[in-house]
Chain A
Amino acid sequence: MTATARSTKAPDAATQALHRSYLRQMMLIRRFEEKAGEAYSLGKIGGFCHLYIGQEAVAVGVMAALRPDDHVISAYREHGHALARGLTSRAVMAELFGKATGSSAGKGGSMHIFDAAAGFLGGHGIVGSHIPLAAGVAFAHKYRGGDQLCVCFFGEAAANIGAFHETLNMASLWDLPAIFIVENNGYGMGTAVSRAAAVTNLSVRGNAYDMPAEQVDGQNVLTVREAMDRAVTRARAESKPTLLEIKTYRYVGHSMSDAAHGTYRTKDEVDEYRRRDPIAVLADLMKAGGYWDDGRHDALVTEVQAEVEDAVTFADASPDPDPSALYTDVYAPEGR
């Protein structure tokens, strides 16, 4: 843990406000995901739906370090990433509901959330396949000569796929401003990292490609933010990639169709991790600094609850896509 995290002295007002905003984002994601789980059980959300509960500090800490003109690309467990990047709860919930008002107009679903204006480039469902896309976005940034960067989120199991290795090699070889975030939540579906990776410290894989890498505590949003700041500086100032292995844990099942524990992990294990909850870690730190208390916390709970309720109401009331939408967006419109 870092000095910041241990500090009991109150930081300046700006920092306090920042912490409150991190807390709000994490609480919003938590509530959003709980609600999505409920809506799934009610049949309002279909298909595969992968919740982010337990991992909130990763999305929030990473996004906090970015600029609006950067790009973000993610896998299928991306509701939290989208919200932390600034997509509205309404747009994301409506997409889960498959509605025309959704961020991908109801054509993407839970696994394919996009918002081009926010630089949020999906939402990808083939494990590891979006990793080269991120390098391509970074290639374009470098080609054009700006100092933007591209962040790519993927799970630790995706680090075993060929696309990961091919991409890290080229990203390092060509000095691309990309940040590769391995969210190591311990499992790929039911396979523990130790049963899938010959070397379980995934950050050392950066060595193979001469890429700076770190292992980061993913339950502390401030630690995540600090590691990101180092990576962002490297990308902007030196146009160099970074590999961050951020250690975290998912409290829920892999997707809506499997239990939180039972076959491949124990309830005790899940409970153990729940004791270092990312929301509690930050809230406790803020309380210790004297700039947070139960009253304010409860008020914030109520606030994010209202936002999520509103998103559900909005998604529910929104129309399905027009039947004609079936055949649009396959190719560019004529004449473009």
Chain B
Amino acid sequence: MATLTYRDALNVALREEMARDDRVFLMGEEVAEYDGAYKVSRGLLKEFGPKRVVDTPIAELGFAGIGVGAAMVGLRPVIEMMTWNFALLAIDQIVNSAAKMRYMSGGQVGVPIVFRGPGGAALQLGAQHSQAFESYYAHIPGLKVIAPATPADAKGLLKAAIRDEDPVVFIEGEMLYNLKGEVPDGDHVTPIGKADIKRAGKDVTIICHSKTVAPSLKAAEALAAEGVDAEVIDLRTIRPLDVDTILESVARTNRCVVAEEGWPFAGVGAQVVDTIQREAFDALDAPILRVTGADVPMPYNKVLERAAKVDAAKIQDAAKKVLYL
């Protein structure tokens, strides 16, 4: 175990996978000579050279497609999006090319590729740079969607994503890069599609992922002080969703809150709620509540921005409501 930042955990995962498999290469804007816009790729150019750490022009659609093409004939591209906001220019390649290839070729051509980069809001970056896109990609059959919350999961899941045979959308938390945590050494691979109970509890289940995990844990601590024992489930993978872990928890707690950074309409939580009402209707003692980002483009103003974002107090309030406290 070493204490690493989330950023360095991702860096270690990339380094280990590139050392392990020479089909793996990293491509994106500023990944090589600049050492990464967010320094996730720091040192990789020096270690692996320009053939495997490739700086691109600002052409998201083009280099996403080049990654897909390379994956179609057996390479293992990791395509860095400087942020997921810019990946909208490449969404055609992610959705129409990567996600469809295996199916429309009748199983002949797979696309083992990872699209990764920071998602979600940072601080006061305004409407175009503050967006959580998990639900966009989770909507698409053929894609896997991962959004880790801790350094250990960042390493383990990135390694799993790179080894996966299918296209993976890997959304990092821009505000999580400096988060420190214990990270297992060596070949730590976390299975895709498995949620993690970050805090066990019996009174209410709080389901979250990525940037809402820390505030959910904080809310759980505050609830504990009020005599409420909350369970916090970190989805880690959005698609495929770990339905078993969710249902097993709700069967014990009978109450549930779903927190996510994204917008409410057709969000990740909407899918979670749909699953629970269908599969565990009788277990519920209260309607499920969702805590989401405000249903607006992100404002620049600091006070308005804070109001738009999910925080521990909002999650705590929702948990008390489903407990009728």
Contact = CB atoms under 8 A, between A and B. Distances in A.
Contacts of B102: 329-332
B61 A163 contact: yes
B62 A163 contact: yes
B317 interface: no
B110 to A, nearest CB: 6
A170 interface: yes
Contact of B68 (A102, A132, A329, A336): A132
Contacts of B61: 132, 162-163, 166
B145 to A, nearest CB: 13
Interface of A: 71, 73, 102-108, 112, 114-116, 121-126, 129-141, 143, 150, 162-163, 166-167, 169-170, 173, 328-332, 336
Given A137-B73, A139-B70, A131 B65 contact: yes
Interface stretch (B31-39, B92-100, B152-160): B92-100
B59 A169 contact: yes
| Most A-side CB within 10 Å, residue of B69, B93, B105 | B69
B299 interface: no
Contacts of A331: 102, 142, 144, 165-166
A137 B72 contact: yes
Contact of A170 (B62, B107, B109): B62
B65 to A, nearest CB: 3
| Most A-side CB within 10 Å, residue of B56, B66, B92, B101 | B66
28 contacts: A107-B105, A114-B104, A114-B106, A115-B108, A121-B73, A122-B105, A129-B96, A129-B97, A132-B62, A132-B64, A132-B65, A132-B66, A133-B65, A133-B69, A133-B72, A135-B65, A136-B68, A136-B71, A137-B73, A143-B70, A166-B61, A166-B62, A167-B62, A170-B66, A328-B107, A330-B103, A331-B142, A331-B166
Contacts of A107: 103-106
Interface string B44-84: 00000001000011010111111111111111010000000
Contact of B74 (A115, A140, A150, A332): A140
Interface string B206-222: 00000000000000000
B75 A332 contact: no
Contact of A132 (B73, B74, B93, B142): B93
B170 interface: no
Contacts of B110: 332
A163 B144 CA distance: 25
Contact of B66 (A115, A122, A124, A167): A167
B69 to A, nearest CB: 2
B137 interface: no
B109 to A, nearest CB: 6
Nearest to A102: B106
Contacts, number: 145
A112 B105 contact: yes
A173 B65 contact: no
A336 B165 contact: yes
A139 B102 CA distance: 20
B133 interface: no
B78 to A, nearest CB: 13
Interface in B112-145: 141-142, 144
A282 to B, nearest CB: 33
B263 interface: no
Contact of A169 (B57, B69, B109): B57
Nearest to B51: A143
A169 B67 CA distance: 15
Given A107-B106, A122-B104, A140 B63 contact: no
B29 to A, nearest CB: 12
A108 B65 contact: no
A138 B69 CA distance: 8
A135 B92 CA distance: 16
Interface in B193-234: none
B155 to A, nearest CB: 23
A330 B104 CA distance: 9
B165 A332 contact: yes
A284 to B, nearest CB: 39
Nearest to B144: A331
A118 B75 CA distance: 18
| Most A-side CB within 10 Å, residue of B57, B62, B107 | B62
A71 B66 CA distance: 14
Interface in B141-187: 141-142, 144, 164-166
B25 interface: yes
A125 B61 CA distance: 16
Given A108-B105, A131-B65, 4 more contacts: A104-B104, A114-B109, A130-B65, A330-B141
A136 B63 CA distance: 8
A122 B25 CA distance: 24
A131 B69 CA distance: 9
Contacts of B65: 129-133, 135-136, 163, 167
A68 B74 CA distance: 17
A136 B57 contact: no
B59 A166 contact: yes
B108 A116 contact: yes
| Most A-side CB within 10 Å, residue of B67, B68, B73, B93 | B73
Contact of B105 (A104, A138, A143): A104
A332 B77 CA distance: 17
Contacts of A105: 106-107
A335 B56 CA distance: 34
B68 A104 contact: no
Nearest to B110: A332
A106 B57 CA distance: 38
Given A162-B61, A166-B61, A136 B105 contact: no
Contacts of B109: 114, 116, 121-122
